[in-house]
């Protein structure tokens, strides 16, 4: 069960890194004074990655909880 907990923690950290990357990417685009359409394009590209990172983080946390309950 220890492997399940550490594997879940690693997935959660990977998801968190992905979320931070998405935040930084959109923040840089906003600071670049892009046109409204260009900013929408950047955000449109980041949204699926943001959702994937959030999903990865949630799955990791679920694995940690499962490992704790089973251990």
List pLDDT tens digits, range 5-41: 999 999 999 999 999 999 999 999 999 989 999 999 9
Contact 67, 5 (CB under 8 A): yes
- The Cβ of residue 50 has, within 10 Å, a number of other Cβ atoms equal to 17
| Structure confidence at residue 71 (pLDDT) | 82
| Residue tagged 């694995």 (tokens) | 63
By the 8 A CB rule, do 70 and 8 touch? no
Matching residue, tokens 């997935």: 11
pTM score, two decimals? 0.87
């Amino acid at each position: 069960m220890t492997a399940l907990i550490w594997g879940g923690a690693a997935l959660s950290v990977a998801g968190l890194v992905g979320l931070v990357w998405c935040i930084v990417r959109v923040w840089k685009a906003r600071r670049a004074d892009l046109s409204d359409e260009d900013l929408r394009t950047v955000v449109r590209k980041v949204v699926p990655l943001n959702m994937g990172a959030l999903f990865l983080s949630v799955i990791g946390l679920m694995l940690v909880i499962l490992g704790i309950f089973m251990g």
